[in-house]
Amino acid sequence: MSNELLNELTVFVLSIFVGIEVISKVPTILHTPLMSGTNAIHGIILVGAIVIAAGANSPVTVILGLVAVILATTNVVGGFVVTDRMLEMFKGRQTAGRAQGAQNQKPVAPVTPK
Amino acid sequence: MNTLITLAYLVAAVCFILGLKQLSSPKSARNGNFTAAFGMVIALLATLPQLRFTTAGVIIITIGVIIGTAVGAVGARMVKMTAIPQMVALFNGVGGGAAALVAVAELLRFGDHPPLAEALPSVFSIVIGSVSFAGSMVAFAKLQELMTGTPITYPGQQIVNGILAAAILGFVIAILAVASIPFSFISLMVLALVLGVAFVLPIGGADMPVVISLLNAFTGLAVAASGFLLNNFALIVAGTLVGASGSLLTKMMSDAMGRSLGNVLFGAFGKTQAGAVAVAGKEGRSVRSGNAEDLGTLLAYSQRVIIVPGYGLAVAQAQHAARELADVLEKRGVEVTYAIHPVAGRMPGHMNVLLAEANVPYEQLKEMDEVNDEFKNADVALIVGANDVVNPSARNAPGSPIYGMPILNADQAKNIVFMKRSMRPGFAGIDNDLMYDPKTIMFFGDAKDSLTKLVSAVKAA
């Protein structure tokens, strides 16, 4: 087994544990945004699509590269934008909560989201 | 790969991990998305200088990025909040497709005899990426109601799927052992696409979120495999992170429904047992239905009202009307809270997103565990377009397909107002005993119209 493959395996295995650990305490309300966010992150395949498209030199590789870049870019851009749209609303809600708190004349205590 | 690029990839990887961490908390979630996007930009910028471009390469990358950005941005901006789940499915599917194509293109470079270290990850990426692509498209079609949302089953389905999987395995072994027969991976890809479709067909619409989450994890793994193929650390780290966290998220989602993942995937939920239960439920029982004026009075003179929103509220775009009703009630001194079931809507957290859109204050939203003990003190449980999440057979009918699913104790409230379009069973296709409860008053109609009528009735009361 080559050194490079060994390094890659190490990174792979450690990433599994990090991936599980990092989201182990996510509240239910964030399940959908989190799924959408991870969905955007695997759009990193765009890096791979660009690597294979860059060297395209035959009709087959041109078509493969073009389609791969289109699909991967859609994944990245759509993924991050749609996640932001969801989360934008969470922010709106917290501001709304604060505004209401102010109306009820409790201006000093900031509303802390759970 | 030179040092600078590797370091840039390391920074990108840290951004992804921090981004995921921030996405797990409501306070920092939006920043988390930005952090991850920033990591993505770094990874992309670091990649470009190391490449040698052909003219064709420059052209297709430019065109591809422009088209992809337009489709992604417009699609994500235009989509209605209720259609978010199928949009996530779509974006996930194209990612899986991209991973499979990258693997095909890379495998082509090695000609007829790819070394094992290249062939293994590429066939993995081709198979998993294609399954994810085709499966996501079916999930999209089901949620978008381009096709029926009920499970599609036929005799011997599991056997056919088994044969498909075996055929794919055979192909994989042939490619790895014998050497790649020209274009054999095209056949492999076609088989995997068929398997993706066949795999999702028997799964009902209500279970789609779990399937999308699983396919999301699949795409992550396909991306990681492409990373091994291209010796690219950014792809390995990001793909594996998504594969691992996506798998955990899938498990959390099926846990929230009180079911095992195997039951979700192979149970053809909402098809087999539902018929019997529904017939038994309908025999000789009557329901009580009320008019807006009576219900308005009931609500106006209550002390505590708990609103149970469901997908019916979402499709009718009734979240603003619901907030308006809550506002007029609160003006009269009625205490109003919203009880949010973990899988209300069509995805966990979906309902919170929709109510947030209507500026419902955060403090009024209560999760199931928090609110379940409060139902017995509530004067009215107002169920708006929800059904399965308040179905008592989850608690007391061991034969029911949803038996064991945690539900909201709406049946313990002093009065239950059940707002629904018709007596039709819910998404899971099961009859609901709560509709026949003597404490229950049915209020038929579109959720938005009905809520608007209630608002005027409360004002008049």
What is the predicted pLDDT for the residue at B355?
A: 84
State phi, psi for B306 to the nearest 5 degrees.
-115, 120
Q: How confident is the model at residue B273 (pLDDT cuts 50, 70, 90)?
A: very low
Q: Are residues B67 and B128 in the same domain?
A: no
CB contact under 8 A, B68 and A28: no
Q: Are residues B317 and B220 in the same domain?
A: no
Using the CB atoms, write b or e for A67-95: b if 16+ within 10 Å.
bbbbbbbbbbbbbbbbbbbbbebbeebbe
CB contact under 8 A, B91 and A111: no
Helix (H) or strand (E) holding A72: helix A59-103
CB contact under 8 A, A49 and B349: no
Contacts of A71 (CB under 8 A, 6+ apart): A49, B68, B94, B95, B97, B98, B101
Answer yes or no: is B278 within a domain.
Answer: no
Q: Are residues B137 and B174 in the same domain?
A: yes
What is the predicted pLDDT for the residue at B276?
A: 37
Residue B329 exposure: Cα atoms within 13 Å on the Cβ side: 30
Return the number of other C-beta atoms located less than 10 Å from residue B317's C-beta.
17
Residue written as token pair 């629904």: B420
- Please give, rounded to a whole number of angstroms, the shortest distance from the CA of B60 to a CA of chain A: 5
Q: Which amino acid is at B88?
A: V
pLDDT at residue B272 is higher than 60 = no
What is the predicted pLDDT for the residue at B183?
A: 59
Summarize pLDDT for B13-68 with one digit per residue, the tens.
999 999 999 998 888 889 999 999 999 999 999 999 988 899 999 999 999 999 99
Alpha carbon distance B402, B204 (integer Å): 13
Which residues in chain A touch residue B32, judged by CB atoms under 8 angstroms apart? 37
Question: Looking at residues B66-78, what average pLDDT do you find?
Answer: 95
Could you tell me if B237 and A11 are in contact, meaning their C-beta atoms sit under 8 angstroms apart? yes
pLDDT at residue A104 is higher than 50 = no
Question: Looking at residues A18-25, what average pLDDT do you find?
Answer: 89
What is the predicted pLDDT for the residue at A18?
A: 94
SS3 B404: coil
What is the predicted pLDDT for the residue at A78?
A: 96
Could you tell me if B47 and B5 are in contact, meaning their C-beta atoms sit under 8 angstroms apart? yes
Question: Looking at residues A24-34, what average pLDDT do you find?
Answer: 81
How is residue A108 written in tokens?
Answer: 């000093």
Q: Is the pTM of this model over 0.80?
A: no
Answer yes or no: is B132 within a domain.
Answer: yes
Q: Are residues B106 and B221 in the same domain?
A: yes
Q: Are residues B218 and B121 in the same domain?
A: yes
Q: Are residues B232 and B361 in the same domain?
A: no
CB contact under 8 A, B72 and A81: yes
What is the predicted pLDDT for the residue at B1?
A: 54
Q: Where are the alpha helices (DSSP H) in B350-460?
A: 350-357, 368-371, 393-396, 447-460
Inter-CA distances, B173 with A1, A59, B107, B123, B228, Å: 21, 29, 15, 10, 19
State phi, psi for B272 to the nearest 5 degrees.
-65, -55
CB contact under 8 A, A16 and B357: no
Q: How confident is the model at residue B428 (pLDDT cuts 50, 70, 90)?
A: low
What single-letter DSSP state applies at residue B289?
Answer: B
Summarize pLDDT for B112-130 with one digit per residue, the tens.
777 778 888 989 999 999 9
Q: Are residues B159 and B301 in the same domain?
A: no
Could you tell me if B431 and B282 are in contact, meaning their C-beta atoms sit under 8 angstroms apart? yes
What is the predicted pLDDT for the residue at A72?
A: 97
Q: In terms of residue numbers, what domain contains B233?
A: 83-272
How is residue B53 written in tokens?
Answer: 């471009």
Return the number of other C-beta atoms located less than 10 Å from residue B185's C-beta.
25
| Mutation target vs A (from B50, B60, B346; most A CBs, 10 A cutoff) | B60
Alpha carbon distance B42, B40 (integer Å): 5
Structural domain total, chain B: 3
- Please give, rounded to a whole number of angstroms, the shortest distance from the CA of A6 to a CA of chain B: 11
β-bridge mates for residue B210, sequence order: none
The predicted complex's ipTM stands at 0.82
pLDDT at residue A111 is higher than 70 = no
Inter-CA distances, B351 with B8, B257, B348, Å: 38, 15, 8
Q: Are residues B309 and B258 in the same domain?
A: no
pLDDT at residue A107 is higher than 60 = no
Q: Are residues B351 and B399 in the same domain?
A: yes
What single-letter DSSP state applies at residue B182?
Answer: T
Average pLDDT score, chain A: 81
What is the predicted pLDDT for the residue at B360?
A: 85
Answer yes or no: is B277 within a domain.
Answer: no
Q: How confident is the model at residue B388 (pLDDT cuts 50, 70, 90)?
A: confident
pLDDT at residue B275 is higher than 80 = no
What is the predicted pLDDT for the residue at B313?
A: 85
Q: Are residues B143 and B217 in the same domain?
A: yes
| Mutation target vs A (from B213, B230, B241; most A CBs, 10 A cutoff) | B241
What is the predicted pLDDT for the residue at A1?
A: 67
- Please give, rounded to a whole number of angstroms, the shortest distance from the CA of B20 to a CA of chain A: 7
Which residues in chain B touch residue A72, judged by CB atoms under 8 angstroms apart? 68, 94-95, 98
Alpha carbon distance B115, B131 (integer Å): 24
* Residues of B assigned a catalytic role: 388
Summarize pLDDT for B139-148 with one digit per residue, the tens.
999 888 888 7
Window 51-80 of B: residues touching A by CB (8 A cutoff) are 51-54, 56-58, 60-61, 63-65, 67-69, 71-73, 75-77, 79
pLDDT at residue B429 is higher than 70 = no
**Spacing of C-alpha B118 from chain mean position:** 34
Summarize pLDDT for B80-96 with one digit per residue, the tens.
877 888 899 999 999 99
Which residues in chain A touch residue B25, judged by CB atoms under 8 angstroms apart? 26-27, 30
Alpha carbon distance B98, B357 (integer Å): 33
Answer yes or no: is B302 within a domain.
Answer: yes
User: At which of B19, B37, B72 does a domain end?
Assistant: B72
Answer yes or no: is B77 within a domain.
Answer: no
pLDDT at residue B291 is higher than 90 = no
The DSSP line for A5-38 is HHHHHHHHHHHHHHHHHHTTT--GGGHHHHHHHH
Q: Are residues B366 and B399 in the same domain?
A: yes
Average pLDDT score, chain B: 85
| CA-closest candidate to residue B353, choices B39, B30, B43 | B30
CB contact under 8 A, A87 and B29: yes
What is the predicted pLDDT for the residue at A30?
A: 81
Q: Are residues B256 and B382 in the same domain?
A: no
In percent, how much of chain B has pLDDT > 70? Answer: 92
Answer yes or no: is B318 within a domain.
Answer: yes
pLDDT at residue B232 is higher than 90 = yes
Could you tell me if A8 and B1 are in contact, meaning their C-beta atoms sit under 8 angstroms apart? no
Mean pLDDT is lowest, of B185-189, B239-243, B244-248, B408-412, for B185-189
Using the CB atoms, write b or e for A36-56: b if 16+ within 10 Å.
bbbbbbbbbbbbbbbbbbbbb
